[in-house]
């Protein structure tokens, strides 16, 4: 399989490395080599099975639109663009493309989502979320924290879930979910030791979505990998 990685930052470069380790052909473009999705044309995508995007929110929207318009497949690890999800799902359906997106491609974080959904069913608790990432992460709160908040609010309609964000040095990503009552406190915590978990999940997602048509959030399909 041939994968085109958009973004040569720390995570994008690791995605390319993992893809090669898993036996795939890899091409990569930096944001400066693909301004306004200008490099995503029918000739340039010929022979590419899946595009993986780890860029920036504004660039991701342009990249997704360009790839889906050509009926191709794209995995999006970039966060902060979700106001356009409905538009992109419709475009994937119209043009026969495939979109796989997620606020976090770590398998461990997917388990955190599941455990949070279970804990969120508790009555009599106040829930809060704390997240820490590197200083170059542009969106706050993180997409993962937003997903965690949505999971809790779905189980506890009307609940006010406070989210605290920290941006520190080169932190890889930590999320803590707390549930506090009058009698005790529960805590779920995921701490990424490196970005490799995100990269592996994204590449495995690309392997899963290749050749498909439609749109999925990663947490809908991760147990099929």
Of these residues, 8, 133, 175, 190, which one is catalytic? 133
Task: Give me the mean pLDDT over the 35-48 stretch.
Answer: 97
- What are the extents of the domains in the chain? 2-105+196-224, 107-191
133 is catalytic: yes
137 is catalytic: yes
Tell me which of 2-6, 7-11, 169-173 is least confident: 169-173
pLDDT of residue 136: 84
- What are the pLDDT digits (tens) for 135-191? 988 788 998 999 999 999 999 999 999 999 999 998 889 999 999 999 999 999 999
Provide the CATH number for the domain formed by 2-105+196-224 in this structure. Answer: 3.40.50.720
Q: What is the 3-state secondary structure (H, E, C) of the chain?
A: CEEEEECCCHHHHHHHHHHHHCCCEEEEECHHHCHHHCCCCHHHHCCCCEEEECCCHHHHHHHHHHHHHCCCEEEECCCCCHHHHHHHHHHHHHHCCEEEECCCCCHHHHHHHHHHHHHCCCCCCEEEEEEEECCCCCCCCCHHHHHHHHHHHHHCCCCCCEEEEEECCCCCCEEEEEEECCCCEEEEEEECCCCHHHHHHHHHHHHHHCCCCEEEEHHHHHHHC
Provide the CATH number for the domain formed by 107-191 in this structure. Answer: 3.30.360.10
Q: Is the pLDDT of residue 41 over 80?
A: yes
Of these residues, 137, 166, 178, 212, which one is catalytic? 137
Tell me which of 23-32, 101-110, 133-142, 194-203 is least confident: 133-142
């Amino acid at each position: 399989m041939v994968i085109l990685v958009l973004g040569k930052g720390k995570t994008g470069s690791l995605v390319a490395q993992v893809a090669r380790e898993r036996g795939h052909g890899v091409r990569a473009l930096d944001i400066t080599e693909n301004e306004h999705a200008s490099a995503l044309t029918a000739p340039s995508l010929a022979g590419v099975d899946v595009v993986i995007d780890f860029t920036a929110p504004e660039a991701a929207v342009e990249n997704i639109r360009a790839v889906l318009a050509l009926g191709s497949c794209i995995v999006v690890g970039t966060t902060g663009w979700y106001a356009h999800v409905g538009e992109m799902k419709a475009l994937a359906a119209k043009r026969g493309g495939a979109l796989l997106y997620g606020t976090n491609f770590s398998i461990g974080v997917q388990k955190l989502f599941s455990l949070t959904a279970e804990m969120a069913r508790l009555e009599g608790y106040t829930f809060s979320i704390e997240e820490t990432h590197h200083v170059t992460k542009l969106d706050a709160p993180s997409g993962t924290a937003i997903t965690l908040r949505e999971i809790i609010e779905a189980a506890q309609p009307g609940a006010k879930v406070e989210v605290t964000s920290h941006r520190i040095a080169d932190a890889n990503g930590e999320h803590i979910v707390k549930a506090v009552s009058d009698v005790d406190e529960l805590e779920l915590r995921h701490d990424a030791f490196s970005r490799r978990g995100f990269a592996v999940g994204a590449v495995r997602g690309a392997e899963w979505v290749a050749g498909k048509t439609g749109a999925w959030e990663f947490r809908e399909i991760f147990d099929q990998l």
